C-alpha cells in the first residue's frame, strides 16, 4: 500500500472516531462541558493578565516610582490568582466527571455487547483481550478525551490570549514568536501523532495478549505445574511483556519528542527577541516594562504551546483505543428477537426438531445434518453417540445459543425463532457436565436468575438435589462462598448445587448435558437420584456418555456424524445390531 493511500485512511479513521465520540458520548454532557469551557476562558484571561501586571509594575513602580500602583498591582495579582485557582478547580472537576461518566458508559456498552453476543462471536477473540479492552482501552479513550478538551479550550485559549498580549505590547517581537515557534511546533507534532497511534495500537494489542496469557496460566495452573511448564510460561510472559514495553516506549519517545522540539524553537525565539528587543530599547522604542511583560507572556505561553502542539499525539492514542473499543461495541448481535417475536406459551412441553442442519462458522463439516426428532410432553429422551457427534449442539440450538442453518425447532408447535429469547430461556433449565458457579454464596448460586426465590425455596431445592446435608455442615452454611468457578467445593457438590439451581427455576423443559460424566461412582449415584427427581413431570432432553444413566429413558436417539442412526428404547437398541449395542458393550466390558 502506498503512502498516499495510507494518509486518507489514517485521516478517515481519526475523523470517524472523533465524530462518533462527540455525537454519542460528548453531546449528552454539552451543558457541563460549556461550563468547563467558560471556566477555561477565565483561566486564559487570568493568564493573559499577568504579563500586563508585570509590565505595569516595572514601568509604573520601578521606573516612574508611582507609590499608588505599589498597592493596586499586588492586590490585582492576588485577585487574579484566586479567580484563576477557582476556575481551574471547577474545570478539572467538571472535565474529570465527564471523562469518568464516558468511561463508565463505554465499559457498560462493551459489557452488554459481550453478554448479548452469541457463543460463536465470543469465540472469535480471547477472554483476555476482552478484559484488556474493557479495563485499559475504554479508560485510555476517556482520558484522551479529557486531555483533548483541556488542551483545546484551556491551553488553546490561554495561548491565544497570551499571543494577543504579546502583540499589544510589541507586534514586531510577537511576529518573531508567531512566525518561528508556532507553525514549526504544530507541524512537527502532527508527524509524531501518526507514529504514536501506530505504536499505541500495537501496544494495546500486546496488552491484550498479556492479559490472555495471565488468564490462561491461572486457569490452567494445575497443568502448568504438572508438566513443569513454569519456565516456558515465564519465557512467554517475558516475551509479551517486552513487546508491550517496546511499543509503549515507541509511543513515549514520540510524545517526549515534543519537548526538545518546542524548547529548541522557543530558545531560538527568545534569543531573537532579546536581540531585537535590545536594539529597540537602544532606540527608545521599547520600555523595560514592555520587554519584561513580553518575556513573561512568552514564558507563560511555553506550556500551552507544548500542550496544543502535543494534541495530535494525545489524540492518536485515543483513536487507537477507540478503534478497538468500537470494534467490540459494533459487533452485530446475530442471535436476537425478531421484531414480530411473541412470548413462548407452553401448554404441554413437546419439542420437535424438523430436518435441522447446522455447521459452525469456522468449520467446513456440518455438525448436524437433517436431524428430525419428536419429543412428547413429559418424556425423557436421551441422545447418545461418540464424542463430536453433535449431541451437545442439539441442546445449544434449543436454547438458541446458535441458530440452525436450515430446518426448525418447535416447542408446542411454536418455532423458537419466532418467540422471544427471554421467554424461551425462562422455560428451560440447563445442567452441564462442568457446572459453573459464581464467586458468591451457595444461596446466591442456587437462586441465580430467580430474584423472587426465598430462603425456603432455596433450601427445598437443595434438599431435593441431595445438597442440603453437605451445605448444612459448612461453617457458614448457605452463606458459604463458592470461590472462583466454585473451586471451594468438590465436583459432586458443584453438580448438586447446579441441579438445585435448575429445581428453583422449576421449568417445564429440562436439558441435561452429560451431567454426571465427570463424577466418581459414589457422587454419580447421589447426583443421579437428584436428577431422577428433577426430571419428574418435565420434558427432559438428556445428553449422556455413561449409558447406565439413561437406561430408563422413554426413548434413545443414537447420533453419529451429525445424523440420527438409531432410535428406540434401551431394550430395543441393546438387542439390535448397531452403534448403540457397540457402545453399551464397550462400557459394560470396561
Name the residue ranges covered by the structural domains of the chain.
Answer: 11-329, 348-427+549-590
pLDDT of residue 8: 47
Per-residue b or e along 97-114, where b marks 16 or more CB atoms closer than 10 Å to that residue's CB: ebbeebbeebbebbeebb
Distance CA 43, CA 577 (A): 89
Query: What is the sign of the dihedral through the CA atoms of 398, 403, 405 and 406?
Result: positive
Of 281, 327, 277, residue with least CA distance to 141: 327
Residue matched to cell numbers 458443584: 494
What confidence tens digit (pLDDT) does each residue in 289-322 have?
A: 888 888 888 888 877 877 777 777 777 778 888 8
Give the residue from 475, 468, 480 showing the smallest Cα distance to 440. Answer: 480
| Burial profile 520-549: b = 16 or more Cβ within 10 angstroms, e = fewer | eeebbebbbebbeebbeebbbbbbbbebeb
Enter the C-alpha cell of residue 165.
498580549
* Pairing mode, strands 351-358 and 406-411: antiparallel
CA pair distance 45, 54, nearest whole angstrom:
15
Contact 585, 555 (CB under 8 A): no
Query: What per-residue confidence (pLDDT) applies to 301?
Result: 82
Per CATH, 11-329 and 348-427+549-590 having the same topology is answered no
Work out the number of other CB atoms within 10 angstroms of the CB of residue 3: 6
Count the Cβ atoms, other than its own, within 10 Å of residue 79. 12
Return d(Cα 440, Cα 438) in angstroms, integer. 5
Q: What is the pLDDT along the chain (590 residues), one digit of tens a residue?
A: 444 444 445 557 777 888 888 888 888 988 998 898 899 889 988 888 888 888 888 888 888 887 888 888 889 889 989 999 999 999 889 988 888 888 888 889 888 888 888 877 777 777 777 888 888 888 888 888 877 777 777 888 888 888 888 888 888 778 877 776 666 655 655 555 555 656 666 776 777 777 777 777 776 676 777 667 778 878 888 888 888 788 777 777 766 666 676 667 767 777 877 887 778 777 777 788 888 888 888 888 877 877 777 777 777 778 888 888 888 888 888 888 999 999 999 888 899 999 999 988 766 788 899 999 999 998 999 999 888 888 889 999 999 988 999 999 999 999 999 999 999 988 998 888 888 888 889 999 999 888 788 999 999 888 888 888 899 998 889 999 988 878 888 888 888 888 888 888 888 998 988 877 666 677 677 777 777 877 888 899 999 887 878 888 899 999 998 899 989 988 888 888 888 888 888 776 55
**pLDDT at res. 7:** 47
**Helix axes 171-219 and 302-309, enclosed angle (nearest 10):** 50
Domain 11-329 sits in CATH at: 1.20.1560.10
CA distance 262 to 184: 8
CB contact set of 476 (below 8 Å; sequence gap of 6+): 441
Q: Say if CB 402 and CB 120 are below 8 A apart.
A: yes
**How many whole angstroms separate alpha carbon 366 and alpha carbon 383?**
18
- Helix, strand, coil proportions of the chain in percent (round to 5)? 65, 10, 25
Homologous superfamily in CATH for domain 348-427+549-590: P-loop containing nucleotide triphosphate hydrolases (3.40.50.300)
Cell numbers describing residue 533: 427427581
Task: Give the three-class secondary structure for 112.
Answer: helix
Per-residue pLDDT of 15-48, as tens digits, reads 788 888 888 888 898 899 889 889 988 998 888 8
Residue 27 in 3-state DSSP?
helix
Give the DSSP H or E segment for 492. Answer: helix 491-505
Q: Is 347 exposed, middle or buried (0-12, 13-18, 19+ CB in 10 A)?
A: exposed
pTM of the predicted model as reported, rounded to 2 decimal places: 0.76
Amino acid at each position: 500500500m502506498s503512502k498516499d493511500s495510507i494518509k486518507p485512511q489514517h485521516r478517515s479513521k481519526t475523523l470517524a472516531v472523533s465524530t462518533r465520540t462527540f455525537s454519542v458520548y460528548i453531546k449528552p454532557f454539552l451543558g457541563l462541558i460549556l461550563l468547563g469551557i467558560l471556566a477555561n476562558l477565565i483561566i486564559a484571561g487570568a493568564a493573559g493578565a499577568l504579563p500586563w501586571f508585570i509590565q505595569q509594575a516595572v514601568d509604573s513602580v520601578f521606573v516612574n516610582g508611582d507609590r499608588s500602583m505599589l498597592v493596586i498591582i499586588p492586590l490585582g495579582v492576588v485577585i487574579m490568582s484566586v479567580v484563576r485557582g477557582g476556575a481551574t478547580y471547577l474545570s478539572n472537576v467538571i472535565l474529570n466527571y465527564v471523562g469518568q461518566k464516558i468511561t463508565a458508559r463505554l465499559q457498560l456498552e462493551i459489557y452488554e455487547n459481550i453478554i448479548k453476543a452469541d457463543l460463536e462471536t465470543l469465540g472469535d477473540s480471547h477472554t483476555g483481550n476482552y478484559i484488556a479492552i474493557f479495563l485499559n482501552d475504554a479508560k485510555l479513550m476517556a482520558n484522551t478525551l479529557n486531555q483533548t478538551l483541556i488542551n483545546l479550550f484551556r491551553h488553546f485559549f490561554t495561548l491565544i490570549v497570551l499571543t494577543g498580549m504579546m502583540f499589544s505590547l510589541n507586534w514586531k517581537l510577537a511576529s518573531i514568536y508567531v512566525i518561528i515557534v508556532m507553525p514549526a511546533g504544530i507541524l512537527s507534532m502532527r508527524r509524531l501523532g501518526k507514529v504514536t497511534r501506530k505504536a499505541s495500537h500495537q501496544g494495546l494489542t500486546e496488552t491484550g495478549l498479556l492479559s490472555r496469557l495471565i488468564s490462561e496460566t491461572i486457569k490452567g495452573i494445575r497443568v502448568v505445574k504438572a508438566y513443569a511448564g513454569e519456565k516456558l510460561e515465564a519465557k512467554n510472559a517475558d516475551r509479551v511483556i517486552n513487546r508491550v514495553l517496546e511499543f509503549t516506549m515507541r509511543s513515549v519517545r514520540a510524545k517526549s519528542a515534543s519537548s526538545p522540539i518546542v524548547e529548541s524553537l522557543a530558545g531560538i525565539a527568545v534569543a531573537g527577541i532579546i536581540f531585537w528587543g535590545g536594539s529597540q530599547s537602544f532606540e527608545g522604542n521599547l520600555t523595560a516594562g514592555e520587554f519584561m511583560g513580553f518575556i513573561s507572556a512568552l514564558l507563560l505561553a511555553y506550556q500551552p504551546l507544548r500542550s496544543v502542539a502535543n494534541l495530535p499525539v494525545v489524540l492518536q492514542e485515543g483513536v487507537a483505543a477507540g478503534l478497538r473499543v468500537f470494534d467490540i461495541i459494533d459487533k452485530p448481535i446475530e442471535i436476537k428477537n425478531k421484531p414480530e417475536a411473541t412470548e413462548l406459551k407452553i401448554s404441554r412441553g413437546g419439542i420437535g426438531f424438523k430436518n435441522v442442519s447446522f455447521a459452525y462458522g469456522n468449520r467446513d463439516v456440518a455438525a448436524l445434518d437433517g436431524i428430525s426428532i419428536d419429543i412428547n410432553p413429559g418424556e425423557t429422551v436421551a441422545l447418545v453417540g461418540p464424542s463430536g457427534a453433535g449431541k451437545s449442539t442439539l441442546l445449544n440450538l434449543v436454547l438458541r445459543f446458535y441458530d440452525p442453518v436450515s430446518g426448525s425447532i418447535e416447542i408446542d408447535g411454536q418455532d423458537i425463532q419466532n418467540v422471544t429469547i427471554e421467554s424461551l430461556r425462562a422455560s428451560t433449565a440447563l445442567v452441564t457436565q462442568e457446572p459453573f458457579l459464581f464467586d458468591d454464596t451457595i444461596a446466591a448460586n442456587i437462586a441465580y436468575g430467580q430474584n423472587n426465590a426465598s430462603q425456603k425455596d432455596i433450601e427445598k431445592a437443595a434438599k431435593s438435589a441431595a445438597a442440603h446435608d453437605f451445605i448444612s455442615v459448612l461453617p457458614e452454611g448457605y452463606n458459604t462462598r463458592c470461590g472462583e468457578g466454585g473451586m471451594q467445593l468438590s465436583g459432586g457438590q458443584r453438580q448438586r448445587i447446579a441441579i438445585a439451581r435448575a429445581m428453583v427455576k422449576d421449568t417445564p423443559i429440562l436439558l441435561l448435558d452429560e451431567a454426571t460424566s465427570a463424577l466418581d461412582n459414589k457422587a454419580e449415584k447421589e447426583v443421579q437420584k437428584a436428577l431422577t427427581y428433577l426430571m419428574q413431570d418435565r420434558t427432559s432432553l438428556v445428553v449422556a456418555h455413561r449409558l447406565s444413566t439413561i437406561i430408563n429413558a422413554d426413548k434413545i436417539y443414537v447420533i453419529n456424524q451429525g445424523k440420527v442412526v438409531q432410535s428406540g428404547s434401551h431394550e430395543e437398541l441393546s438387542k439390535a445390531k448397531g452403534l448403540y449395542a457397540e457402545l453399551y458393550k464397550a462400557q459394560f466390558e470396561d
